[in-house]
Amino acid sequence: MSTGKVLLGLLAGVATGALMGVLFAPDKGVNTRRKISCKGKELKDDLTEKFDEVIDDISEKFEQMKKDVKDYAEKTTEPETKKEKKDVTETA
């Protein structure tokens, strides 16, 4: 199971638990709505932060993969370049 799915499930569980706690707590409607609004904002901020972390992680992995592919391409073309130079000097 991927880390992103586990994290999303965990955040959904926390949000559901917080919402249920607020809804079933004896309080005035105005206070309950205010609490729900605050919890919603906290959840949005948490999700935004986690999403940014995931995007940063993906970007880092993508950049590393680009570097690895470039290095591999350079390694595989080096022998051909040396061979081409050798062929050119032999025909001259």
Contact by Cβ (8 Å): 47, 11: yes
More confident residue, 19 or 49: 49
pLDDT at 63: 94
The one-letter code for the residue type at 15 is: A
Q: Where are the domains of the chain?
A: 3-91
pLDDT in tens, 68-87: 999 998 888 866 555 555 55
Q: Which residues contact 66 (CB under 8 A, 6 or more apart)?
A: none
